[in-house]
Amino acid sequence: MSVVLETTIGDLTIDLFTKERPHSCKNFLKLCKLKYYNFCLFHHVQSNFVAQTGDPTGSGSGGQSVYGILSGEDARYYEGEKKPKIKHDRPGLVSMVNCGDNLIGSQFFITLGEDTTCSLDEHIVFGEIAEGHEVLLKLNETICDVTHRPYQDIRITHTVILEDPYSDPDGLILPCQSPEPPLEVLQSDRIGADEDITEDIDTEELEEKRLEKEALARATILEIVGDLPSADIAPPENVLFVCKLNPVTSDDDLQIIFSRFGKIVSCEVIRDKKSGNSLQYAFVEFDNQKSCEDAYLKMDNVLIDDRRIHVDFSQSVSKIKWLGKGRGVKYTDKDDEGKNISDKYSKNRNKKRDSYDSKNNYNKDKMSTHESKHYRKDDKNYRYRKSEKEDRGPYNKYRRIEKDEDRRRDDYDKTRKNYRNEGDRKNDRKERNERREKDDKSKRSNREDRDKRSDRGDRTKSDRYDRGSRR
């Protein structure tokens, strides 16, 4: 036996436990026949717990059974079934509300949590949701006030009985049409069930509010873990964030470029702590907000060192130091050790330069004029070169080899151009082979003559020299 509840957020199909709860199922079915639940409000929705309805007044204290409608106020409630006991152990169970002393009226609720047996043990389960579990998810996600009443009304619009196994009690008169909405529905101070809450609100404004909520949530998390002194803290408005920089761009370069917009308090390219390499972003701090805004408007997508940079207002609060609870904050350019942040990376570079100089015995002051011409300074480190000869010696060696190879290649190309056809190339190859054979024959004959003279003991000085060289 089933009943369909048509609500403002979707339809719910309820399978009734007619064998276990005959009186409760009969009361529920006859109230549905009388259209008693039409326009009833879900007046109590508690996430992961229950969604309660069945009170025509919407207050949570009204409602009566079908026997009270037929016989009067004295029969407002009836006594519900205690056995068999059915636990509230899953979402989607439908129970009649126990009004005390096991007395049941018209109100019922639907469970939204996994296991609510302990807190709902006294109430009577008489059915289960068979279809429409997506509607239960919507009910569970409904936004409510502190009294667990939804800000936007959720109501039962109609009830459809698929099958009724019980006979109608005496005096039951079925209405020919659905009743008119009660006065409480028309005078409700809540958002109407059929009212679109986004009708008069711009989508961009909604998106902006959503982003603000997300930003506040992230700031609250940072405050909890101790990264921010307060979730409401705001970054300074005179600091620009510059990214997509070329690795060769230095602090001095940026300071010269951005100084045309106003006085710069500090300009720092952020570098890796270990290697000192640029991380390709920087912070530029101006002495006033107006200069910062001008630089933001005119420097975005500007080409610097063959890179188009991106400029935005800084969101960093690294220079804001929390003085403690109730003491406020202060802006500082120094770290926890009292050292100037902007000088930290330049000191690291100087330290690396000095260690490199001492290791290679370089001293710029004692350099000769020729050596000082070849002094080089790059972005990662300071480099010195003693002389052009020392620096370019290996290079000249390899370059000489390359020239020899180029010369051979040019000679070969010239020779090929002189050949008129394939026969000329064959003849040239044949002559070259004959010349080689002739040279080899003469060498063999000379060697045989030396051996003969050696056997006779008639050796010349040149023969001794050749024999020694062969050894």
Successive 10-residue mean pLDDT values, the chain, 471 residues? 90 93 92 91 92 89 90 88 88 91 92 82 91 91 90 91 88 81 68 65 78 82 70 79 91 90 90 89 91 91 90 76 49 51 49 54 48 42 39 48 60 55 69 82 81 64 49 42
Residue type, 434: E
DSSP string, 48-107: TTEEEE--TTSSSS----HHHHHH-GGGS-EEPP--S-----STTEEEEEE-STTEEEEE
Cis amide prior to 84 (ω within 30 degrees):
yes
Tell me the CA distances in angstroms from 338 to 155, 285, 334, 350, 385, one per residue in order. Answer: 65, 20, 5, 20, 37
Instruction: Report whether 295 contacts 309 (CB < 8 A).
Output: no
**262 CB neighbour count, 10 Å cutoff:** 18
**279 CB neighbour count, 10 Å cutoff:** 12
Q: How far apart are CA 2 and CA 165, in angstroms?
A: 10
In 3-state terms, what secondary structure has residue 280?
Answer: strand
Greatest pairwise CA separation for the chain in angstroms: 156
Q: Look up the CATH architecture of domain 2-186.
A: Beta Barrel (2.40)
For position 415, what pLDDT does the model report?
56
Give the containing element (helix H, strand E) for 11: strand 10-16
In 3-state terms, what secondary structure has residue 157?
Answer: strand
For position 357, what pLDDT does the model report?
54
For the domain 239-331, what is the CATH superfamily, name and number?
A: RRM (RNA recognition motif) domain (3.30.70.330)
* 8-state DSSP, 180: P
Give the containing element (helix H, strand E) for 366: none
Q: How far apart are CA 103 and CA 137, in angstroms?
A: 30
**pTM passes above 0.85:** no
Q: How far apart are CA 346 and CA 344, in angstroms?
A: 6
Q: How far apart are CA 26 and CA 33, in angstroms?
A: 11
For position 215, what pLDDT does the model report?
81
Domain boundaries, the chain: 2-186, 239-331
Q: Which residue in 3, 41, 40, 54 sits closest to 159, CA to CA? A: 3
- B/e letters for 194-227, b = 16+ CB within 10 Å, e = fewer, are eeeeeeeeeeeeeeeeeeeeeeeeebeebeeeee
For position 184, what pLDDT does the model report?
66
